Amino acid sequence: MPILYDYLGIKIGFYSNEHEPIHVHAVYNGAVMKVVLHAENGVVHRVSYKEEVGDFNKAKLADLKKFISKNKNALYFAWVQFFQENRDNNVKIKTITISKKIK
């Protein structure tokens, strides 16, 4: 799974064989949350969350939601670039590590 962000230990990325709707997976301590980015004309207008495996604790879920809120459009465009513009498989993913809480 290419990891876009490591935010306070929460790994946020997508699998290299993903499908629509545009979404990412957040992984923390074995728990996995699917985050769907609902967009129109390239702008994310709504985000939905679905637990896939285990449970995110309340504090980490709050951290994740704050991070997604601030970075939803960047995540959307990273997904689009990787899956729709990456016809030659030359888009490389570099993980961005963030160890301080965003405000």
- In this prediction, residue 12 carries a pLDDT of 95
Q: How far apart are CA 43 and CA 82, in angstroms?
A: 17
Query: How sure is the predictor about 94, in pLDDT bands with cuts at 50, 70 and 90?
Result: confident
Residue 87 has pLDDT above 60, yes or no: no
Residue pLDDT, tens place only, 40-59 = 888 899 999 998 888 888 99
Kindly list the domain boundaries of the chain, sorted by start residue: 3-96
Residues 36/50, Cβ–Cβ less than 8 Å:
yes
> Distances from the Cα of 94 to the Cαs of 4, 19, 23, 91, in angstroms?
6, 21, 18, 10
Residues 36/23, Cβ–Cβ less than 8 Å:
yes
Residue pLDDT, tens place only, 66-82 = 999 999 999 998 888 88
The answer, as to whether pTM is greater than 0.75, is: yes
